[in-house]
């Protein structure tokens, strides 16, 4: 029997739903908006993804959720939906850190440079992770107040995520490639969630909470 996982990404203003079978993407429905559309769109996107893949909800083996950091509103909606599905279907919950998922998206187009994934955290603050082309973590998840020289010791860098616009204005004459069209997507969870499923790395849906905020450094 195939391992079918529903993936939910709601940490930013992108509302994204994906379906995978045995670690391969089979459907995706997502939309970005200037405002949060998750409350009215997430369930609809789940139905549309299942319909596109010609699957019934009972076929799900697990649900994976973007576990933060990110928007309180978005994460709360995503986690509540994931928990409801897991309880109702009696299937496991898998957490995928938001920036790890975003890095997976960035790897597709950039296989030789260090990857900097950033999520906006208001003002001149971002949540960030840096990995090299081999997938090795160079800088763990942290919440940072950025300036003109932040992360310069990791250059050359490819930078992407919804924290990018403020950084493009701040970082001039640096060895950084800005990828404006790489954003959070449930597609980034597919490989990571599949590995966690195979390893039996599940979360207790009854008490799981996402990462909302970090201390700034």
Q: Which of 18-22, 105-109, 195-199 has the weakest average pLDDT?
A: 105-109
Residue 174, helix vs strand vs coil: coil
Check whether 215 has a pLDDT greater than 60.
no
Q: Which of 4-8, 76-80, 169-173, 204-208 has the weakest average pLDDT?
A: 169-173
Partners of 115 in beta bridges: 131, 158
Give the pLDDT of residue 213: 64
HSE toward the beta carbon, residue 199, CA cutoff 13 A? 11
Count, residues in the chain? 217
Q: Does the domain formed by 99-179 have CATH 3.40.50.2300?
A: no
Check whether 110 has a pLDDT greater than 80.
no
Enumerate the domain spans of the chain: 4-98+184-199, 99-179
- Which is more confidently placed, 100 or 124? 100
Q: How confident is the model at residue 133 (pLDDT cuts 50, 70, 90)?
A: confident
Q: How confident is the model at residue 144 (pLDDT cuts 50, 70, 90)?
A: very high
DSSP string, 15-82: EEEEEEETTEEEEEEEEE-SS--HHHHHHHHHHHHHHHTT--GGG--EEEEE--SS-HHHHHHHHHHH
Mean pLDDT of the region 73-86: 95
Tens digit of each residue's pLDDT (9 = 90 or more) over 8-65? 999 999 999 999 999 999 999 999 877 778 888 999 999 999 999 999 999 999 999 9
Check whether 216 has a pLDDT greater than 50.
no
What percent of the chain clears pLDDT 70, i.e. is strictly above it?
A: 98
Give the pLDDT of residue 217: 43
DSSP state of 216: B
Identify the CATH class of 4-98+184-199.
Answer: alpha beta
Check whether 179 has a pLDDT greater than 80.
yes
Angle between helices 190-199 and 98-109 (to 10 degrees): 120
Closest CA to 185 of 86, 103, 63, 112: 103
Omega cis (within 30) before 69: yes
Closest CA to 96 of 13, 194, 30: 194
Topology match between the domains 4-98+184-199 and 99-179: yes
Q: How far apart are CA 47 and CA 49, in angstroms?
A: 6
Paired tokens of 53: 């893949």
């Amino acid at each position: 029997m195939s391992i079918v996982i529903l993936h939910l990404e709601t940490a930013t203003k992108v509302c994204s739903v994906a379906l995978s079978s045995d670690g391969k993407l089979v459907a995706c429905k997502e939309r970005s908006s200037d405002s949060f559309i998750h409350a009215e769109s997430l369930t609809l996107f789940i139905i549309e993804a299942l319909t596109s893949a010609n699957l019934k909800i009972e076929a799900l083996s697990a649900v994976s959720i973007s576990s933060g950091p990110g928007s309180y509103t978005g994460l709360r909606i995503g986690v509540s939906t994931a928990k409801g599905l897991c309880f109702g279907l009696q299937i496991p919950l898998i957490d995928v850190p938001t920036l790890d998922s975003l890095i997976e998206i960035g790897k597709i187009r950039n296989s030789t440079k260090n990857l900097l994934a950033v999520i906006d955290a208001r003002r001149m603050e971002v949540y960030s992770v840096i990995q090299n082309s081999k997938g090795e973590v160079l800088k763990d998840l942290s919440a940072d107040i950025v300036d003109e020289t932040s992360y310069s010791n990791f250059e050359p860098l490819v930078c992407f995520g919804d924290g990018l616009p403020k950084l493009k204005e701040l970082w001039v004459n640096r060895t950084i490639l800005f990828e404006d069209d790489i954003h959070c997507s449930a597609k980034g969870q597919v490989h990571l969630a599949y590995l966690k499923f195979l390893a039996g790395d599940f979360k207790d849906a009854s008490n799981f909470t996402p990462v909302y905020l970090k201390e700034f450094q």
